[in-house]
């Protein structure tokens, strides 16, 4: 559809951390740095790992916990080095069909929420069943990229 797409994602490993009781913006900041330290060598192999995109954030209805994640690069999917920070963990996300809405600009928590609501409304209007109690934000750009930025919101298909 012109206002969203349906993607099929395969099973994959992500490195994640959960930040509790902070604003979404502060959780993203703290979570990003915890994960960045992991890819810069704060792991059992002291291995540097390439930065990947997207950086995702799980937003659950009426919940102040935010799970921030980096995709584990393909060459490390089979055996990613284990984190040495007890707040950082490797998770395997199962294959899933995901409704995706893309948008540009600098994404704030408010903009992500607004885009998620637009996507939810479109999906409801089209009779598409999806998990409404959570969504992911996905950011693809460095904070230093000023133009042609790419952001997404994801809802999982039921």
Q: Is-contact 101 4, C-beta < 8 A?
A: yes
The closest alpha carbon to 7, from 118, 157, 127, 130, belongs to 157
Q: How many helices (H) and strands (E) does the chain have?
A: 2, 8
> In 13-98, which residue ranges form alpha helices assigned H by DSSP?
24-39
- Which pLDDT value is given to residue 144? 87
- Which pLDDT value is given to residue 20? 96
Distance CA 89, CA 45 (A): 15
Below-50 pLDDT ranges, the chain: none
Angle at alpha carbon of residue 107, lines to 76 and 124, rounded to 5°: 90
Angle at alpha carbon of residue 115, lines to 6 and 50, rounded to 5°: 70
Q: Give me the CATH code for the 5-156 domain, please.
A: 3.20.80.10
- Which pLDDT value is given to residue 97? 98
Q: Which tens digits make up the pLDDT trace of 39-75?
A: 999 999 999 999 999 999 999 998 999 999 999 999 9
Question: Beta-carbon neighbour count of residue 80 at 10 Å?
Answer: 20
Domain boundaries, the chain: 5-156
Q: Is-contact 31 19, C-beta < 8 A?
A: yes
Q: Is-contact 34 88, C-beta < 8 A?
A: yes
């Amino acid at each position: 559809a012109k206002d969203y797409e349906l993607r099929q994602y395969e099973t994959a490993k992500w490195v994640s951390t959960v930040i509790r009781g902070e604003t979404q913006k502060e959780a993203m900041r703290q979570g990003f740095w915890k994960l960045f330290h992991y890819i810069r060598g704060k792991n059992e192999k002291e291995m540097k790992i390439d930065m990947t995109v997207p950086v995702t954030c799980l937003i659950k209805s009426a919940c102040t916990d935010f799970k921030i994640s980096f995709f584990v690069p393909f060459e490390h999917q089979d055996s990613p080095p284990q984190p040495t920070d007890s707040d950082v963990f490797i998770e395997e996300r199962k294959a899933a069909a995901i409704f995706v809405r893309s948008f540009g600009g600098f994404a704030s928590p408010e903009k992500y929420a607004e885009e998620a609501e637009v996507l939810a409304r479109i999906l409801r209007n089209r009779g598409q069943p999806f998990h409404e109690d959570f969504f992911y934000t996905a950011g693809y750009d460095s904070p230093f990229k000023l133009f042609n930025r790419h952001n997404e919101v994801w809802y999982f298909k039921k």
